[in-house]
Structure 1
Amino acid sequence: MSQPITSDNLQDFKATFDRLPKSHALKRTTMKNGILASSEDTNSQIAMDPVFSVELDTGSVANQKQSGRCWMFAALNTMRHPLQDQFKLKGFELSQNYTNFWDKLEKSNYFYENILNTASLPLEDRKVAFLLATPQQDGGQWDMLCALIQKYGIVPKSVMPETYNSSTSRELNSVLNKKLRKDAVTLRQLVADGADDTQIAATRETMVSEVYRILVFALGEPVTEFDWEYKDDDGNYHQDHLTPQQFFQKYVGWNLDDYVSLINSPTEDKPYNHLYTVEMLGNVVGGREVRHLNLDIDTFKQLAVKQLQNGETVWFGSDVGQSSDRKAGILDTGIYQLDDLFDVDLSMTKAQRLDYGESLMTHAMVLTGVDLVDGKPTKWKVENSWGDKVGNKGYFVMSDDWFDQFVYQIVINKKYLSDAQNDVLKKEYDQPKVLAPWDPMGALAL
C-alpha cells in the first residue's frame, strides 16, 4: 500500500515534537554538541574502572595505523605475549608486514581461483558481483592467519619492518583491486573462448607474478632465511640463523591446529553446537580453511574466562563501532542513551542485528583480563592495536553486556573445550554447513 507523507502528517509530526518535554532544549544541545556527546552517560566511565581480578601483563600495544590489519595484529599479539616472557624481550613485536605481504599475494591468487570457478555465471550473478565488489582487502580472520603461518612461517618485526604502504594501505589496495578486476576480464574471456587449462594456468601464473612485483615495490621482499640478533631484558646478546618456519617453531612453538574459532551467532539458520564455514572465504588456495563452532553465549564466555585464568590471552572479533568511546577506551552498551535523547525505541536482539544488517564483526582485538564477581564476569580488559594514544595506553575496558551483544568470535585452545565440543569438531570438520559468501559470520575484521 502506497503511503506518501502529507502536509497533515507534517503538522502532526511538528505538534508531537513540540509536546515532548524539553524538546527544544535537547534540540539545541544536540545540534551544538553532536548526538553521542549529548546522549553520553558518565556513569559508564565509573563502572568501567580498569581494575580486573584476572589480568595478564602483555606490555605495550602495537599500532596498525591506517590499515585494516587488526586481525593480523591481534593474532600475532597473542603469539608474542608468551614469547616476550619466555625469552625476556620486553616490547618485542612480530612482523605484521611479512604476513601482510603473503596475505595479499595469496588473496590475489584466491581471487583468481574464485573468478575461474564462477566464470560460467553472468556478471550480474550475486556471487560474481560479490567477488568484484572487493577483490582483496586488508581484513581477515583467524584461520586465514594460520594458513599463512603454516605455509610461510613468521619473522621478527626487525627483519621485515613496516613500510609506508603497509601502514597506509589505501593506495596499494586501490592498485591491486584495479589489477585484479582487469585480470578478471581476461580470465572470464579465456573461459568464454574455450581456452584449455594449460593456457589459463600460464596466464594466471603471469598475473600472480605481476602481483608479486607490485608487492615487492610496495612492501619489500620477504626473506627466506635471516640472521637475528637481539639483546634480552638482562642485556645478554643472542644471535640465531633461521628460516621463517624455523623461527616460528623455535620461538613460538604453537600447534596452530589446537586453536579453533568459536562464534556466537544466535540466528535461526545457525543452530548451536554445529560447525560452519563460509563459501569463498579464505586466502591460501589449498591451505587451512575457515571453520566456526557456534556456541551459546554463556559457554562462549566461560571458555574465554578459562583460557585467561590459565595465563593465555584470547583473540576475539567484535563490532567495535557500537556503543564505544575510542578516546576513553570504553565499550559499554550503556555509554550512550540514544533512546532517552530521541524518545524512540532503538533496541534489537543480537540475532535481529545480524539478520537485518545492523551489526557484524568489524574488528579483532585481544582479551588480556577479566573482572570476576562471584565467579561471573562483569568487565573485560582489551588490548587494541590502535597505538597508545587511545584508551588507557591503548587498552580498553569492555562491559560484560557489551560482550554479550557485540562479540561474535573468539579463538580457544581445544584443550579447554568439552569432550562433546571436540567431538563436533572431529565429526563435522570435513562437512561443515556452508554459509553464503555475504553471511555476517564471513565478515573480515579490519
Structure 2
Amino acid sequence: MSYGNDDPRPTVARSLTPDQVELFEKGFAARPANRLMQNAVTQTPVDDVALDRRILTGIDHSVSHHLDDWKVTNQKQSGRCWMFAGLNLLRVGAAKELGLKDFEFSQNYTLWWDKFERANHFLEAIIETSGRDVDDRTVARLLTDPIGDGGQWNMFVALVAKHGLVPKSAMPETDSSSSTRAMNRVLETLLRQGARDLRAQASEGAEAQREHKRDILAAIHRVLSIHLGTPPQKFLWQWEDKDKEFHRDGWLTPAEFAAKYVRLPLDEYVCLVHDPRESSPVGRTFTVEYLGNIVDAPPVVYLNGRIEQLKKLAMDAIVGGEPVWFGCDVAKMMRSDVGVWDAELFDYAGVYDTEFTLDKADRLVLHDTEMTHAMLFTGVDVVDGGPRRWRVENSWGEDRADKGFWTMNDSWFGEHVFEVAVRRSALPPELAAALDQEPIVLPAWDPMGALAD
C-alpha cells in the first residue's frame, strides 16, 4: 500500500496516534482507486464487486461422469449436513433395492439418537475431566459446544452401526428437527447445568457421578422426545415402487431395516484428509481428543494424505459408479445463487489493494479455516486422466444452483476440501499400511476436530 508520493511510513508505536491515523488517511486519499472502491462497496455487497465474471462465465456445468438422477434434500435451519450427506450416499443403493425413484432415510431419527448419544458422550467427558480447573483449555472446549448439530463421517457410521435406520415416513421431520436452535439452547443449558453438578461431585467418585448422570439424561430424553418425537423401535414397512407394484416387508426394527437396505459396507470406509501443516505428517493417522458422539464407539480417525490422492480416489469412485462423501470449508470463494466454487472466484486483492498470502497450511494454523460443511460428490469432469470439475449434491434444497446440484472447479478442491470417505481397498499400499499405526492424538481444540454443519 502506498502512503503518498513521499511514502512517509507511520512511526511504529504501541498505540495508534493522531499522526499515524492522518498518514493512513492521506495514503488512502492519494489513490483514486480507493475512492472508487469505497463508492462501489458502500452501495453494493463486496462479493458482487469482487466477483471475477471471467471465471463465473467460463464455468461449464457439464461433467463427463454424472451419477445423480434424483432430487436433493434440505437440511433447512439445522446443522445436519454430515448426516444428510451420509444418508444421501446410502439412499442411492436403497432406492435401487426398493425400486423407487426418490427415497429418503429419516434424518430426524439419526438426529434424535445423535443428540442423546452426544449428551452422554459429553457428560462422560465432564466426569473424566472433573478434577481439572474449569478454565482448563480442554474443559473450556467441552463447555463451549456441548451438543451442537455438526458431525464427522465416523460419527455417522457409529450411529448407523448402533441404532440402524428407518425410512422418513417412520419418523418424519418436525419443526425442531428442521430448525434446531431453540431445542439446542435448552439442551445446552441442561448439559452445562449437569456439568456444574457433576464437577461438584468429583470427590465422590465416578460411580456417584454416573448416578446423577442418569437423572440428567432422563431430562435430555424428555426434551428430545418433546421436540423430535419418539424414535420407533419397530415400524410397518410397505411401499409402492416406481412401476406401481406394491410391496410389504412387515414389521421391522431399525437394525433390520438398515441391514436390508444399506448396500454399502460402511465399516470398510476410511476418512482420508488433507492436513498440510508441518506438524501433520503424510501417511499417518490422527484422532482428536474427546471428538465423537457415542461412548465406546470406534474413535474418529483421520488418515492424512496428499491432495492429489484425495482427488484421484474421489474421481475413481465416481467413475466406478459410487458417489463420495466429503467435507470442506464451504463459504470460501462461493457464489450461492448460481451454485459455484472456484479458488479465484472473487478478486479481493483488487478491491482492497492488499495481498492475501495465507496458504492452506497457514489458514489451519492461524484458525482462518476449518471443515464447516459436508456434501456428496455425484459427478466429475475427467480430462486427460485427471479431474477438471466436480458436481456436488448439496443439502440446501432445490432453489439454488442446478436444482440443488452445485459445480466445483478443481482449483477449489485443492484449497478448501479437507476430507473424503473412501474404501480401504481403494487406498494405495503405502496409505493402507498406515492404518495399522496408533493414531497421533491431537488436542480437543485442534482445527481438525471441527464438525461439519
TM-score when normalising by structure 2 = 0.95
**In structure 2, distance between residues paired with 1:268 and 1:212:** 43
1:155-204 CA deviation, whole Å, 9 max, x = no partner? Answer: 1111100001100000110000000000111111111xx32444322211
Secondary structure of the corresponding residue to residue 92 of structure 1: coil
2:411 is aligned, of 394, 401, 407, to 401
The letter of the residue matching 1:115 is: I
Aligned to 2:402: 392
Partner of 2:18: 7
Q: 2:190: which partner in 1?
A: 179
User: Which one of 203, 212, 220 corresponds to residue 229 of structure 2?
Assistant: 220
Deviations 1:273-297 (A, max 9, x none): 0000000000100112101000011
- Counterpart of 2:440 in structure 1 is 433
2:350 to 320, 328, 340: 340
Aligned to 1:297: 307
Asked if residue 30 in structure 1 is aligned to residue 37 in structure 2, the reply is: no
Query: Which residue of the partner structure matches residue 87 of structure 2?
Result: 76
Name the CA distance, whole Å, in 1 between partners of 2:298 and 2:75: 25
Distance 1:200 1:439 in 2: 28
Match of residue 50 from structure 1: 61
Give 2:260's aligned residue. 250
Alpha-carbon offset, residue 90 of structure 1: 1.3
Q: What amino acid maps onto 1:206 in structure 2?
A: D
Amino acid aligned to 2:224: L
Q: Distance in 2 between matches of 1:29 and 1:199?
A: 63
Q: What is the CA-CA distance between 1:34 and the residue it aligns to?
A: 2.0
Q: Taking structure 1 as reference, are residues 17 and 255 closer, same or farther at Cα in structure 2, changes over 3 Å only?
A: same
Render the CA deviation track for 1:228-279: whole Å, top value 9, x for unaligned: 1111111111111211111111111332210110100000111000000000
Using a 3 Å threshold, how does the CA distance of structure 1 residues 82 and 4 change in structure 2: closer, same or farther? same
How many residues align? The count is 441
Q: How does 1:91-130 map to 2 (within 5 A)?
A: 91-130=102-141
2:4 alignment counterpart: none
8 Å Cα contact 1:65-1:168 kept in structure 2: yes
After superposing the two structures, state which structure 1 stretch, 301-310 or 4-13, moved more.
4-13
Q: CA deviation at 1:42?
A: 1.4
- Letter of the structure 1 residue corresponding to residue 102 of structure 2: G
> Is the 8 Å Cα contact of residues 58 and 81 (structure 1) preserved in structure 2?
no
Confirm or deny: 8 A CA contact 2:337 2:400 kept in the other structure. yes
What does residue 318 of structure 1 align with? 328
Q: CA deviation at 1:401?
A: 0.8
Within 2, Cα distance between the matches of 1:30 and 1:4?
Answer: 29
- 2:166 corresponds in structure 1 to 155
After superposition, give the CA deviation of every residue in 1:296-328 in whole Å (9 maximum; x if it has no partner): 111111111111111010001000111101111
Partner of 2:450 in structure 1?
443
Is the 2:94–2:263 Cα contact (8 Å) retained in structure 1? no
Match of 1:239 in 2: 248
Q: Secondary structure at the match of 2:392?
A: strand
Equivalent-residue separation in structure 1 for 2:339 and 2:130 (angstroms): 46
Query: Match for residue 373 of structure 2?
Result: 363
**What are the ranges of 5 or more consecutive residues in structure 2 without an aligned counterpart?**
1-11
Cα distance, 1:33 vs. partner?
Answer: 0.5
Residue in structure 2 matching 1:166, options 165, 177, 180? 177
Is 1:61 matched with 2:72?
yes
Deviates more, 1:8-17 or 1:48-57: 8-17
Large movers: runs of 4+ above 3 Å: none
Aligned partners of 2:84 and 2:107 also within 8 Å: yes
Q: Which moved more, 1:2-11 or 1:363-372?
A: 2-11
Give the match's secondary structure for 1:260: strand
Question: What is aligned with 1:202?
Answer: 211
Larger mean CA deviation between 162-171 and 241-250 belongs to: 241-250
- For residues 287 and 55 of structure 1, the distance between their equivalents in structure 2, rounded to whole angstroms, comes to 35
Partners of 1:433 and 1:198 lie apart in 2 by: 30
Measured after TM superposition, the shift of residue 44 of structure 1 is 2.2
Letter in 1 for 2:440: K
- The residue type paired with residue 303 of structure 2 is L
Shift of 1:48: 2.2
Q: Percent identity?
A: 40
Amino acid aligned to 2:25: K
Equivalent positions of 1:136-151 (< 5 A) are: 136-151=147-162
TM-fit CA distance, 1:349: 0.6
